[in-house]
Structure 1
Amino acid sequence: MQSELKLRILSGIVLAVVVLAATWFGGIAFRILSAAIALLVYYEWSTITRLAETDFRGNAFGWLSVVLVSGLVLFGFDEFALPLLIGAVVIGIVYALGLKGSGWLAGGIAYSGLTVISLAAIRGDTAHGFAAMLFLFAVVWATDILAYFVGRAIGGPKLAPPISPGKTWSGAIGGTIAAVIAGTLVHMAFFSLNGLWVPVIALVLSVFSQIGDLFESFIKRRFGVKDSSRLIPGHGGVMDRVDGLVFACFAAFLIALGDAIVSGTANTPASVFLFGP
């Protein structure tokens, strides 16, 4: 048990260093990280849902779609990545309905593709993007850590017993409060705080982070899997570590995208809409 804990701590430190270094450098370094996460997420998704075993053709299309979307983001063709992803998801849905393929195919393409697109869009190549990613890390990590400790300390009614029996409403609320505080403090380290927009965004992203955690728990329980994989020593798989982060990024990206469409300023970086002064 002691050696397993040491392995978990060591691999956690290595992961944190890699992620924070890529976030600091931004540019191609962060895009490589985002693409790698997306590809590993699709690998784990297709393994958990048994796409590789039950739907070889569909899974091959899924891999092709995620590789192409990740490649577009990696080489800076972001404007083509989202339309390609939408098209691939639609094809996946039609394939499942018309040819009785796996309904999990379209979900895997969407989940993995949105991961690379949203991460890269929020980080971008600006100082705002660096601050935005630190804000997201603070919100997600504070949610995870405080939800665990508050839930264990207070207990009480379960949040979603059929999906994740260990999670409680007290933990969820405690994690959300911690996320609002942590996110606001990170924002204030870079910019002045004007109004309640930042605390509200932190609250929304914390809720989505917890939804992401529950979503992955649902998939694993649906297929009788404990960990998404064994890629990370002591931690399980990539999805186990980024489930909350990617859902928070999905929400942040979609809020920024909606704001850009409404305001007609599509060329403004996503991070400016969310975290700019």
Structure 2
Amino acid sequence: MSNLQQRVISAIVLAVIVLGLTWLGGLYFRLLSAAIALAMFYEWSAMSRSAANAPYQWISAGLLVLVLLLLVVGFPAATVLLALAAAVVVSAGLAVIGKQGSWNTVGLAYAGLSGISLALLRGADQSGLVAILFLFAVVWATDILAYFVGRAVGGPKLAPAISPGKTWSGAIGGTIGGLIAALAVAVLAGSPHLGLMVPVVLFLSIVSQIGDLFESWVKRRHGVKDSSHLIPGHGGVMDRVDGLVVAALALYVIGTAFGGAENPAGGLFPL
């Protein structure tokens, strides 16, 4: 089987699973979000694992599991976020004591916030479903259009030292694509905040591309091509969700300003 065939089959399987669990929401989507967070931390740790830091990575992994259990069970957002903050503090303290640097702690915060923001955005109601579909539209359209526009137009590189294949033309094309796709979702959902959605989408599209570049920098720092080989033809989970999880955190923060920490989607998409 060719690499292209693997990529297509994996993409279809993943899309069916993710969209199905997104539709169900509630516990099912919280489990998906927790699985994404754990996979991200596993890949983050694997890229930097050594005999010296392995025990600290296991401790950080255990702390992350405890936080995600609170998320999956359905504890309030404030409790889950405070638990993550406490876990990060403990991880940082152990790193200082063991002279391990901040890498494990950053990975714990990165993976934890990714899973939590995704789960809390979706929630269990219709507003959460629209918010996640809106997020998918921004990130997926940005990613797809950036690839095709970049290949077709070319031009100056966006960040050659980090990701030589990305261009400014692709970044701009991706942002325009994300804007069109996400506004289409907002219009179909009957959002009363269409004027607000334009700057929000532009911001999320840019943030998702920054998330992509951040993950490329992490891989380059550790001299690896893919974050792992968990997904046939695609690499690792981080390779697939790098832009999504950063944009999810950004949208969660924006939604919190309108609907509160417990109902961020309702503030943006009151249905």
Give the structure 1 partner of residue 69 of structure 2: 71
Other-structure match for 2:41: 42
**Aligned residue in 1 for 2:238:** 239
The alpha-carbon distance between structure 1 residues 195 and 141, as it changes in their structure 2 partners (threshold 3 A), is closer
Query: Equivalents in 2 of 1:267, 1:211: separation in Å?
Result: 24
| Equivalenced residues, count | 270
Q: Provide the residue aligned with 2:104 in structure 1.
A: 105
User: Is contact 1:145-1:175 (8 Å) kept?
Assistant: yes
Report the AA paired with residue 225 of structure 2: K
The alignment yields a C-alpha RMSD, in angstroms, of 1.6
| CA displacement, residues 216-255 of structure 1 (integer Å, 9 cap, x when unaligned) | 0000000001101111011100000010100100111122
1:42-67 deviation digits (Å, cap 9, x = unpaired): 110100122x5331231122111110
Does residue 270 of structure 2 align to residue 276 of structure 1? Answer: yes
Question: For 2:135 and 2:116, how far apart are their aligned partners in 1?
Answer: 15
Name the SS of the counterpart of 2:51 in structure 1: helix
Distance 2:171 2:47 in 1: 26
List alignment gaps of at least 5 residues for structure 1. Answer: none
Instruction: Mark the CA change 1:55 to 1:175 in structure 2 (over 3 Å): closer, same or farther.
Output: same
Q: What's 1:123 paired with?
A: 122
Matched residues in 2 for 1:216 and 1:192: separation? 32
For the structure 1 residues 211 and 153, does the alpha-carbon distance in structure 2 shift closer, same or farther, using more than 3 Å as the test?
same
- Counting aligned pairs with the same residue, the percent is 53
Deviation beyond 4 Å, 4+ runs, structure 1: none
TM-score by length of 1: 0.93
Equivalent in the alignment of 2:180: 181
Between the aligned partners of 1:111 and 1:195, the Cα distance in structure 2 is: 30
What secondary structure, in the 3-state scheme, does the structure 2 residue paired with 1:167 have? strand
Larger deviation, residues 186-195 vs 113-122 = 186-195
2:143 counterpart residue number: 144
Could you tell me how far 1:195 is from its partner in structure 2?
4.5
C-alpha deviation, 1:267, in angstroms: 6.1
Cα drift, residue 98 of structure 1 = 4.0
Pair 96,33 (structure 1): closer, same or farther in 2 beyond 3 Å: same
Tell me if the contact between 2:183 and 2:194 (Cα under 8 Å) persists in the aligned partners: no
Q: How does 1:165-244 map to 2 (within 5 A)?
A: 165-244=164-243
TM-score by length of 2: 0.95
Distance across 2 between alignment mates of 1:208 and 1:77:
28
CA distance in structure 2 between the aligned counterparts of 1:84 and 1:195, rounded to whole angstroms? 35
Cα distance per residue 1:141-184 (max 9 Å; x no partner): 00000001111111111111110011011111110111111100
The question of whether the paired residues in 1 share the 8 Å contact of 2:192 and 2:269 is answered with no
Contact kept? 1:58, 1:102, Cα under 8 Å: no
**2:154 counterpart residue number:** 155
Residue 94 to residue 11, structure 1, CA distance change in 2 (3 Å) = same
* Farther off after superposition, 81-90 or 19-28: 81-90
Could you tell me whether the CA contact under 8 Å between 2:141 and 2:181 is conserved in 1?
A: yes
Amino acid in structure 2 at the alignment position of 1:67? V
| Counterpart for residue 19 of structure 1 | 18
* 1:268 Cα deviation after fit: 4.9
Q: Matched residue of 1:65: which SS?
A: helix
Q: Aligned partner of 1:200: which letter?
A: P
How many angstroms apart in 2 are the aligned matches of 1:102 and 1:276?
Answer: 44
Letter in 2 for 1:97: V
